[in-house]
Amino acid sequence: MTTDPSAVDRYIVDRLLSLNERQQATLDANHAARLPAIDVSAPQGKFLNLLASAIGARRILEIGALGGYSTIWLARALPEGGRVVTIEFEPRHAEVARANIAREALADKVELRVGAALDILPQLEAEGGAPFDLSFIDADKANNAAYFNWALKLSRPGALIVVDNVVREGAVADPAARDDGGLGARRLFDAVAAEPRVAATAIQTVGSKGWDGFLIARVTQ
């Protein structure tokens, strides 16, 4: 029996994900551009895609596009006329994301905004667009609680908010955690625990990205 979670991820991809779904061209482009290889895994990308289609999401907010790998998974779940608004801090990452999204013929479904999310989120509020059905937060971990509060503010009742990297090899459960990941995750959990307008859980994950997890919250009012 294998004891390698990456081998299991490869098996999952091999059995359950079509060649087209795997987005190899996007992964290759990200690698060539030397983007950090911290995209969601392919099985996780498909999980996000299935969540979005299960709730019939038409408007999706993503905080942290990187090279657009998760953006593409989310955009592929949208019906005609649906939209992902995705925010990326690094102009160089955004440029790679834009090219990947265009190659997948999804440019008309993705609105990519470049800058600090904490600057752009208030702009989205001021613009008064329709609320989001699903938010995916996967950016700098220190700001996760603030991103969660913004996603909540911009969500409709019944919407889902998903946050990546909330376990960080167990650091979330360590009261002495001092790194951005562990502290950011603990502050996020504090914010969610104190928020009566959501029902939430977190699911630990293991695979090609090591031991981590997703927080999933449903906006109840």
Crossing angle of helices 42-54 and 5-16, in 10° steps, is: 50
Of 107 and 206, the one with the shorter C-beta distance to Mg ion is 206
Instruction: Decide if residue 39 touches Mg ion (CB under 5 A).
Output: no
Instruction: Decide if residue 164 touches Mg ion (CB under 5 A).
Output: yes
Q: CA angle, corner 36, sides to 154 and 63, nearest 5? A: 0
Q: Identify the residue whose tokens are 């709730």.
A: 55
Strand partners, 198: 219
Of 49 and 165, the one with the shorter C-beta distance to ligand DHB is 165
DSSP H helices in the chain: 5-16, 24-32, 42-54, 69-75, 91-103, 117-127, 144-153, 180-193
The option from Mg ion, ligand DHB, none interacting with 12 (CB < 5 to 8 A, set by class) reads: none
Instruction: Decide if residue 165 touches Mg ion (CB under 5 A).
Output: yes
Instruction: Decide if residue 138 touches Mg ion (CB under 5 A).
Output: yes
Choose the binding region for Mg ion from 12-20, 42-50, 72-80, 157-165 (rule: CB under 5 A): 157-165
* Closest by Cα among 79, 23, 72 to 48: 72
Number of residues that bind ligand DHB (CB under 6 A): 4
Shortest distance, CB of residue 194 to Mg ion, whole angstroms?
Answer: 24
Shortest distance, CB of residue 53 to ligand DHB, whole angstroms?
Answer: 22
Q: Identify the residue whose tokens are 């790679």.
A: 96
Instruction: Decide if residue 88 touches Mg ion (CB under 5 A).
Output: no
Binding mask 37-66 for ligand DHB (x = CB under 6 A): -x----------------------------
- Applying CB under 6 A, among 84, 134, 138, 147 the residue interacting with ligand DHB is 138
Cα distances (Å, whole numbers) of residue 85 to 1, 8, 69, 75, 76: 42, 32, 14, 10, 13
The pair of structure tokens assigned to 59 is: 């408007």
Which residues contribute to the site for ligand DHB (CB under 6 A)?
Answer: 38, 138, 164-165
Which residues contribute to the site for Mg ion (CB under 5 A)?
Answer: 138, 164-165
